Amino acid sequence: MKKEIILKGNGFILRLYKKGDELSLSKNANNKKIAQNMFLGFPSPYTLEEAKKWVGICLKKNKIGPITGFVIDIDGEVAGTVGGEIDKKKPFMLGFGYWLGEKYWGKGIMSEATKLYIDYIFKDFKKINRIESSVFPWNEGSKKVLLKNGFKLEGISRKSYLKDGKIIDVYHFAKLRNE
């Protein structure tokens, strides 16, 4: 078992998933407003069964590492997540994503959690030189979070993604280690 990693924010911590997170995960993630901003793989509805599957996957991943995903814990509850995947073909890149329960929106939590996460990745993963994140056109909150944290809009893939039966644009942001 790897050592526990805890990053402290203002009114929250970033920590690894643990047994017992399933209920608050399903409660906060089961929201159509969140699902509409997420890419494939994020279930909707986000049931307790889905939460159990996800926590199981994360517990297994954290044992074999590297640790690239965290719970945003507010008062012991999974309020959201920040995390990423290192690109196996390009091990210098990490794809980054996040979500936050609706009752926590507009409080600066995600901007601060993103800063803590990005600082952690660049400090502990010396080979990572680029962090990428993609956002749907209507997700102004996520665009602001990324821009506030030094990400640059690199481009828009026009009509490149099928979301809820519609072909839509995708905005691509990235942050480099030296920026």
Residue 80's domain is classified under what CATH number? 3.40.630.30
The parent domain of residue 92 ranges over 7-130
Average pLDDT, rounded, for the chain: 93
1-15, 105-119, 144-158: the lowest-pLDDT one: 1-15
Model confidence, pTM: 0.92
> Quick one: tokens of 154?
């690199």
Instruction: Look at residue 56 and tell me if it is in a domain.
Output: yes
Residue 1 pLDDT: 42
Instruction: Look at residue 18 and tell me if it is in a domain.
Output: yes
Q: What is the DSSP string of 21-46?
A: -HHHHHHHH--HHHHTT--TT--SS-
Instruction: Look at residue 174 and tell me if it is in a domain.
Output: no
Domain count, the chain: 1
> Quick one: tokens of 105?
């929106």
Instruction: Look at residue 11 and tell me if it is in a domain.
Output: yes
Mean pLDDT computed over 62-77: 84
Instruction: Look at residue 27 and tell me if it is in a domain.
Output: yes
Residue 62 pLDDT: 72
> Quick one: tokens of 162?
């099928």
Q: Is pLDDT at 2 greater than 60 in this prediction?
A: no
Mean pLDDT computed over 3-22: 91
Instruction: Look at residue 100 and tell me if it is in a domain.
Output: yes
Q: Is pLDDT at 75 greater than 70 in this prediction?
A: yes
